Structure formats: structure tokens, C-alpha cells
Structure 1
């Protein structure tokens, strides 16, 4: 009935089933060989998940690409941490015993004070907010706690970029304290207050015998909604540009990154530290496990929904 075997469904199905059985048989026979080969390759070492290089069993970093190839655990809470992390983001404790958390100097692990900077191994209590800190700047209020931190802050505040950044932050803060007009009624009320102010100043000048009085403009002049939003956004954009320019590149010592970043933080703005490690947001680099990878400050709005990982 069927001249062509390919047109016979029964034979075709039987043929395809036979092929499927043969393919499955090959898979089942080849899979153990593959697994066995991998086991033989990794029996005497640890395979790097990044480049595939076989490393020594006790190696924490790949000898070929330099990436971490295993996980360590926090000595305080037992949470997994990267081998090159010096801070546990779970229990928020400094976990290195061989490196000073304040200056990055090497330690033997037995000192009560760092021989390089003199900081106590148990941390420093902030004199302003009474927070116990493991690093040179207070994670709560940003106060410098060591002489090195104070010197770094003085140097940074002399930088033109920081001066402009702080000026913009002050102007934004002043604008937020002087909200724009919300209606025509607010404009009329403000005009009446301005005339009353001028009259009072003139009367005071006459009583004191001052002639040719020059009445200064109000320090915080109110604006319309459109002008207010435009000027505020202009300042925010410029501030964001400077923060981007002052972003911290990767450094060998985590203490260097933490200290410089904290010294660069402008006052009066709600900021978050965006780390290059996990691109997470922290209240400061003091809450990042690997600040040596760099990061930057970013501006947070009042009603932002961005989550700060270690907000305090």
C-alpha cells in the first residue's frame, strides 16, 4: 500500500523510536564519563567558576584570573562572605584581624592598638552621637574620629570641587526651606509682608538718624512653582555631575576608599553610597563589604523608594 517507507506511519514511528532509544543510550553512557572526567580534574584542586582554571584546594583566589573562587564565613555570625571582604554586611562587624580597620596597616592580630595610627582594635565611640565605630569616620553622623581622618577632611574641603559641591548643597537646602508660591494669594501676602518690612526698616533708620537707607533684598526670595523647580533641578544636576567626577576608583586598601569617600560627602543632602561590589546602596561606604572596588555618592530624593541596604 505504501511504496515509500517514509510514508508508512508505523515504520516511521518505529524508526524514530529506535533513534530516540539510541540517543538516550549514548547520553546515559556518556554522562558518567563526563562527570568522571570533571571529578578527576577537580580531585586535586578547586575549579574557578570564572575562567575554569584548576587551583590548589586551599586557594581562595584564582591563580589565573584573580577572582575569588570560594566563600568564607563571618567569624561573628557565620554568614557567607567573600574571601577578600573585610566587613560582614549581615552582622555589620569588621572581620579582619590582620589589618587595621582605621588606616589599613598590617597587624599580627594580638595588638590592642594599631602600631601605625594608634586606634584601638575594639573601635572608637563617636563623641557627637555616641555610636561605636570600626572605621575612621562615624557611620551615623560622619564625624572624623582619627587624626588621619581629620587631616583628610581638611584637605578635601580645600578642593574647588568640594567647595562648589557644598555651595550647591547649601543652596538646595535653603530652597527647600523656602517653598514656592502655591497660589496667587501667597504672592499677595508676600508682597504685603515685603512692604511692611520696608516700612519698619525705614522707621528704625529715621529713629537712628540714618539717611539714604539702602534696604537689602531678602536672603531667601520666594519664587513661582515653575522657576523654583527649574532652579532646583539645575543645582541637583550640577551636584550629581560633581559627585560623578569625585567617584572613588578601585584602591588596594579598603580604608583608603572609606576615608576619602566619607571626607567627600557634602553636608545637608540625603545621599547614599552606591558600591561597585554589588551596586547596592549603603548609608555610607562603612556598610560595604568590599569598598576597595570603588563607588560613588548618589542623591536621594525625599520620597525616594530606593532601598538603602544598611540604613540606620
Structure 2
């Protein structure tokens, strides 16, 4: 890439990223802290990737997604997943019309731009599998008809890691379709104090209005796809992923017995897409290794499957990802 084309790309990024600051400022009116979570949700928007948020109750997972959706001029649906839920409750069904003597399609709540799948692991496998087609193919089949979903179409799902009774663990095929798995942590002492004061001042959620049009998101995505990725960065990403499949080849023999299954090619694709989106947010027309590391933990943590030995030694997938980043040579 020449200096001229890079300068031109940086100017495009500067113009097309004007919506980011108003979006972040509006989110901060409602959400205290969680800035990294918010940034990664915006990265998901820019790279067209579904996101799974995991955290204990009360950490504003639902509020964050609802707030972001309110600030974008799109159709939003919150779907509460429950054990008695049926696929038809999600995607819709065929209803017989007595007047016309024919079946008519009644579309379900999945027909929206931004979906909040609340407590996704509370629904049975047949409902979770109904979500798979929409997430991967971005289309829904009802009866013999197939309906394309609107663009953008993103699923933001939440799950509670501590309450496992009455839940259905997500199958690996579905988890792999989420670009990122974000761990939502407790607020700091100062943030907790700010939350307390905000509550006493009243709720600002009702005053939120859209600050972004869907066209701005689509335009930004086009620019994100133009962001330059050097061959050395591509090789770095490939080395990271291949090291999860064959650790010994990359002098990581000490973790070869701790990884049952490595990352799929989706991880390679998502690392590049998300790092480009992060470079866009930073106002850069090219990807650097720090972009890969910034999104890497969230993209890899749910794709590396630890062995029973790793579980016995209490080695988490996050620790395995950390060892990968510490060991693979950075360009």
C-alpha cells in the first residue's frame, strides 16, 4: 500500500467514523464503566459478528445491548429464552386462514436487525438449532419458504455462568458462530459509587434517541473491509490459530496435553475482521499486532476446548490463550 492510498484511506475513516463519538457519549449517559465491553460491541457491529456476553446477574448485560439498539435506527427485539420455548416462538409459523382457505406465514421475533437473546442457554436444543440458520445463513425457513433477514442482522446473546440448573449448554457448533464471547466483570469501587449516584438522579434511558442510521453502519463496514492487513500480520494470525491445533510445532509442547480441540478457520477470519474494525475505531488504515491482541482473547476463549487434564489442573481456556500470545513471535 502506497503512502498516498493510505492517506486517502485515513481520510475516509475520519469521515465515516463521525458517528462513533456521539454513540459512545450517549452510551455513557446510561452505562457506567464497561468501556471495553462497549467498544467490542461496536467492533461486532462494524464487522458483522454475533456476540455472546457472559456474566453474573445485575452487570447490565441486557441494558448495554438495549441501549446500543436504541441509539441505532433499526428494529430491535428482545427474546427471553425459556425451557418451554418452541422453534415457532422464535422464527414464526404457518397459520391457516379460514377466509382464504390457505396457510399464511406469521413471522417470529427473529425478524429484526438487532436481536437480544436473553439467557440463551435456558432454551432446549431444538430452539438453539433454529437460531443456527439465522446466525450463519442470515435467512429463515418457515415451511417451504425461505426469507432473507434484513441487513444489518446481529444476535447479541447473554448467559449466566453460575446458575446451571434448568439450562441447556450451547453446542459447540452454535458457540463457534459467535464472533466474540465477552466476559462482563464487576464494576470498580469508583464505578459502583457512580452507579449509586446515577440511580438517585433518575433514569436517562427514556430520553435516548437514535444517533446512527443503518446506512452509516453499512458505509463504515465497506471502509473496514478496505483496511490494510500486511502479510506479516496475516502470518501472525495463522500461526496463532495453527498453534491451537498443533502446539508442539510451535514449541508449545507443555500445553499440547491441555488442548482437546483447537480453533476452526472461523477464528482466523474473525481475528482479521475484528482487528480491522478495531483499527477503524482507532482511526488507522492498517492493522497492527496490538489490534490482534485486543480482540484475540474474546475470539479464541470459546474456541479452544480444554482437555480433562486441563480441567483437573484448573487451567482455563483464557490461560491457554495467554500462553499462545506470550509464545508466538510478534511481527
- The TM-score with structure 1 as length reference comes to 0.25
**Structure (1/2) with the larger helix percentage:** 2
In our comparison, the structure showing a higher alpha carbon Rg is 1
Q: Using CA pairs under 8 Å that are at least 6 residues apart, name the structure with larger relative contact order, 1 or 2.
A: 2
- The TM-score with structure 2 as length reference comes to 0.24
**Structure (1/2) with the larger strand percentage:** 2
